[in-house]
Structure 1
Amino acid sequence: MNPESITNLEDLITKNYSNITGIVISKNVHLVYEKYFDRYTKDDLVHVASVTKSITSILIGIAIDKGYIKNIEQKVLEFFPDYTIRRGEKYIQLITLKHLLTMTAPYKYKSEPYTKVYSSDDWVKSALDLLGGKNEVGEFNYSTIGTNILSGILSNATGQSVSDFATQNLFKPLGIDAPKPTFIQNKEDYLAFLKDKYVTGWIADPKGVNTAGWGLTLSPRDMIKIGQLYLNGGRWNGKEILSTKWIVDSTMEKSRWRELSYGYLWWILKDGYAALGDGGNIIFISPQKEIVIAIASRFMPRTKDRIELIRSHIMPMFQ
């Protein structure tokens, strides 16, 4: 990376990507670039939005590796034996863990009822109540609310809170500070969490169950560790954190939305795969070039495409 290329990249970010807070890049396991913007530092956390989904995928993989979950073909309702199926339900009993991971589960809404779910006392149950409906199983149907059912599955399968399980089996081994539960009481709290400059923790419902589809805060250094773990085939400092099999399976196309491929809560790209979060948060992994790129961003509607930034302005610096 020559100085002129770096200067051009940073000028471009300041001008056209003003909500980026930090970029960290590793190549061949070595940190080769780290830069922070808008008075952020390496220690500041950012709400990574739907990057949380890919972290949840990792936790499901670890739970399967450790035998807490048999396999992804298990029916969702197996994990909720006390849940009462509503009369007339047709498809909910067919839905498996795999359907949740690949965004191919049907729901009883046209647009996600965030306010209804996040004002309830039990977000997992509220999501279960929305699962199923009249649409058939198997069609791509991206859902942040529905992903929260995976939190309930993790909690019930492992007997631990999601945050405790994540801390013990992922964050602590990677040297990531464990995020504490953060609670929101109303719409104002929710909007503040999205828009405040400095936020910390991991959003949890009133029962203390962490969100699976959003709500996690990480630093760019944390994000690069997650990406490097995948590039390393699940190993960290010589120890297996996650099986290579799960990494391969989760980053192969399992469903499709328009021209985009989807694995197990990971987006599959022609030149790698990525965890993508609203506002422009991304962990991009290129196995071919052995590069991991982590970009953290404050929430901003209609942000410029980070994949385009990576392909057009970052990756050419490594030719």
Structure 2
Amino acid sequence: MIRFLGILIFFHILTSCGQEKTTSPNDLKGILKMTQNSPNIHSFLASHKGELLVEEYYTTYDQDSLDDIRSGTKSIMTTLVGIAVDKGYIESIHDPIPKYMKVPGDKSKITLAHLMSMQSGIQWNENSSPDDRTLMIRSGNPKEYILSKPVTSEPGTFWTYNSGDIHLLSVVLAEATGMSTLDFARKYLFAPLGVEKVGWKKFGDGYHPGDSRLELKPRDLLKLGEMIANNGEYKGRRIVSKHFLEEAAKFHYEHKNVSEKTGYGYGWWVVDDNNTRVMMASGYGGQMIGIVPDEDLVVVVTHFWNVSGNNAAKQQKNAQQLAVTLWDWVRSTAK
């Protein structure tokens, strides 16, 4: 439940930020003071139009430290699939997954796009205790655990927060390319971005988890965000196609229980704020990459993640409030 509620907090903060200008800090110094109210914060970075606005680290944390971005991994996993399509390892995101891996018959209609948008139809619940993600890991073979779950709705018709869907993308990528997900990422994503220091442990099934456990330096997370904001290019080099990113930022699922236009794309949380598209990679405990492509703005916030659910929600809220307040400030200074 904590993952989903944390996103709804973000939606509310984002779409109401323009109504709260009088209570927001009016300069960067004031924004930095807000970090004092975010326990366990590790880093706060932002860039605007390629210019570094802020790069702050806290406690014993520094620019060379790795951060476990938890579910923020999902957004990078789907980006890797987009790169694999660009490179010809995968023909189309609309390919059924049996083209790349052996699956039970009831999973034969599930496509990569269904997995990326968390609409596989596979029965899944991450709001209970123990939840399916926990049971998946405890099983020792996450791939087989996911594939053993029944399909309870037609693929593409029902959305539920499903880490299992995104992990299957890692399996597909490895099988389609003949490389581990980490090796593929190093070659086609990290190396072009100048990212050298990476951590990504494997699950018990031998695959790198598509849904979590990726560790990167905050400055490298900023590079990733800048590449996304620049339509897939970084320092003049094409990393992923503009077309794929446009598809990733569309609403493949739109929340019906909130008034604002918010939802899920391909591995990214998406908000439409007065016709301005916002993309967010979000991880448990306040890990985030917030991107406003039209304004070339990127915000990165990381925290110590191994905290209780209540504390994780507070940290997520603080991280997202920092991002939105900075965006509000950038908008006001541009006028």
Contact 2:44 2:300 in 1 (8 A): yes
Q: 1:73 aligns with which of 91, 94, 102?
A: 94
The reply on whether 1:34 has 2:55 as its aligned counterpart is yes
Distance 1:24 1:11 in 2: 14
Q: Secondary structure at 1:226's aligned position in 2? A: helix
Q: Distance in 2 between matches of 1:209 and 1:41?
A: 30
Distance in 2, matches of 1:110 and 1:207, equals: 21
Answering whether residue 184 of structure 2 is matched by residue 165 of structure 1, we say yes
Match of 2:145 in 1: 126
Whole-Å separation in 2 of the counterparts to 1:290 and 1:134: 41
| Corresponding letter in the other structure for 1:22 | S
Corresponding position of 2:19: none
| Deviation of the 1:229 alpha carbon | 0.5
1:273 aligns with 2:279: yes
Partners in 2 of 1:67 and 1:238 — Cα distance? 21
Cα RMSD after superposing both structures: 1.9
> How many angstroms apart in 2 are the aligned matches of 1:116 and 1:273?
29
Question: What is the rounded CA distance, in whole Å, between the counterparts of 1:107 and 1:135 in structure 2?
Answer: 7
Residue 206 of structure 1: SS of its match in structure 2? coil
Q: Normalization by structure 2: what TM-score?
A: 0.80
> What is the match of residue 314 of structure 2?
303
Q: Deviations over 1:136-173 (max 9, x none)?
A: 32211111123111111000110100000000000111
Instruction: Rate the CA distance shift 1:6–1:109 in 2: closer, same or farther, 3 A.
Output: closer
What's the % identity of the aligned pairs? 28
Deviation at 1:63, TM superposition (A): 0.3
- Residue-by-residue CA offset, 1:84-109 (whole Å, 9 max, x unaligned): 44xxx4xx222111111111112234
SS of alignment partner, residue 303 of structure 1 = helix
* Residue 205 (structure 1) aligns with: 203
1:178, distance to aligned residue in structure 2 (A): 4.6
- Residue 174 of structure 1 pairs with residue 193 of structure 2: yes
State the secondary structure of the residue aligned to 2:314.
Answer: coil
1:263 match: 265
Aligned residue type for 1:302: A
**Is residue 2:104 matched to residue 1:102?**
no
Q: Contact conserved, 1:51 with 1:214, CA < 8 A, in 2? A: yes
Q: Which secondary structure does the structure 1 equivalent of 2:294 belong to?
A: coil
For the Cα contact (< 8 Å) 2:249–2:265, is it kept in 1? yes
1 CA distance for matches of 2:30 and 2:118? 38
Q: 1 CA distance for matches of 2:79 and 2:291?
A: 15
**Which moves more between the two structures, 152-161 or 98-107?**
98-107
User: Could you say if the C-alpha distance between residues 139 and 84 of structure 1 is closer, same or farther in structure 2, counting changes exceeding 3 Å?
Assistant: closer
Structure 1 CA distance, aligned partners of 2:154 and 2:269?
23
Count of paired positions: 287
> Offset at 1:176?
1.0
**Moved >6 Å (runs of 4+):** none
Give the SS at the match of 2:170: helix
Structure 2 CA distance, aligned partners of 1:109 and 1:26?
Answer: 37
Does the alignment pair 1:315 with 2:327?
yes
CA contact (8 A) 2:226 2:298 kept: yes
